[in-house]
Amino acid sequence: MGTEYNGVAAEQFKVATPPEIKFTKLLIDGRFVDSVSGKTFDTLDPRTGKAITTVAEGDKEDINLAVKAARQAFDHGKWPRMPGSERGRIMLKFADLIDENVEELAKLDSLDAGRLLTSGMYIDIPNCVGMLRYNAGFADKIHGETLKMSREFHAYTLKEPVGVVGIIIPWNVPTTMFCSKVSPALAAGCTMVVKPAEQTPLSALFIAQLAKMAGIPDGVLNVVTGFGPTAGAALCSHMDVDKISFTGSTEVGREVMIAAANSNLKAVSLELGGKSPFIVFDDADVDKAVDLAHMAIFYNKGEICVAGSRVFVQEGIYDEFVRKSAEKAKSWIVGDPFDPLVCQGPQVDKNQFEKILRYIDYGKEDGATLLTGGKACGEKGYYIEPTIFTDVKEDMRIAKDEIFGPVMSLMKFKTVEEAIEKANNTRYGLAAGIVTKDIDVANRVSRSVRAGVVWINCYFAFDNDAPFGGVKMSGFGKDGGLQGLEKYLKTKTVVTPIYNSPWL
């Protein structure tokens, strides 16, 4: 057997150099253009804090142009009017082009977001290809139903594309988030304006070029890079946008809803923050539980909405779990995401880096015990050690707030009832993890925890057919599965009288 790094055979993976940057302008109506203002902004390399390149800075005027193009493409273009099978064929070609550019897209996300290149090449981008192919299969299967009326009427429903969609995506998994929202919207026959996070615009612009190459008509998919308070706000409040699909923080999600309400009452779906519980019972295999818990919080340097940041361990195995967690954390390699030996790359930017370090200080101030980590590492860039706190109380800031970083809060519990109560003691409700060999405990807890998805003896078990989304202050609306498609559709009921029919 050859040596493996992060599950990838060394002979199959070569340490890569950063990619050439090919696209830095806005894509509006099928053309890459400068912003109306001519302004640009730097996108930064989190490994060094230095500029990678300058990107066009779109704002309200550019959003107006992009929405105008999307509206024209929806109201008068061929995308919503072509047979679903033809949309599906183009989407499959789009998927093939992404598949042909896996390495370049993975490199862009490593360079811009600090994602591990191994994760991008072998998980993220292949999954995006799968998303497009999965949703392409829906394109010619969208239909309503015939209704059984109680009077002399014939009635049926139509499933129609919702219209022009504003899509706002976060910076933590840029390509994944782009494809998870664009894929079902395309299948439904919508047109769209995508506003990627200002921290990570590069992969969105590259994918936009692939969409053009695949034959997606001009105006159907527009990409405007820029900042949330300008470009994002203009998109959310635009009177000609029919729906907003947003993934990001709860605080910004609230602003999105306000803008939608104050404009044209457009539909909104929100996938927001989380403070997910990870619950380990006495009968669990401790080694497996430690592995899962570390993956749940340290994967992607903790910059993931479903991070299992609150780890509850039953008292019978708590001490063993703590000891093994400390040992595992000390073997966790932090460094350059282009290096296949590395387990954790840099945080996305200076603001996030400083926020995480600030919360580590809060943990110490509030009386938690720092078990491992707790410091920045490296001479440059935004690297932070994997950090574990014990003796954490539920009212501490590190236990209540979404940190979005590699910080685990370890807590002890006695009974199943206590575990359920502690798990639900949060304003969030995105995900939860359970580790137990007892099916009765698994069933009871999974039904009692208020979360949008519950993983039993696994974590991050995402799949194209599995709807994903939160409850409480983690938002509403689902990505994935048939529910992920339906949020880009609207139902219309059509009724016509019938005369002298032998039956109703």
* H or E, element range at 194: strand 191-195
Q: How many helices (H) and strands (E) does the chain have?
A: 16, 24
E-strand stretches of 385-488: 387-390, 407-413, 431-435, 453-456, 475-476
Task: Return d(Cα 358, Cα 376) in angstroms, integer.
Answer: 11
Task: Return d(Cα 317, Cα 321) in angstroms, integer.
Answer: 6
Rounded to a whole number of angstroms, the CA Rg of the chain reads: 24
Asked if 10 contacts 3 with a C-beta cutoff of 8 angstroms, the reply is yes
Residue 326, phi then psi, degrees to nearest 5: -65, -45
**Chain centre to alpha carbon of residue 360:** 25
Asked if 277 contacts 422 with a C-beta cutoff of 8 angstroms, the reply is yes
E-strand stretches of 345-477: 369-372, 376-377, 383-384, 387-390, 407-413, 431-435, 453-456, 475-476
Q: Is 271 a catalytic residue?
A: yes
* DSSP for residue 349: S
Q: Which of 57, 198, 271, 385 is catalytic?
A: 271
Active-site positions read 271
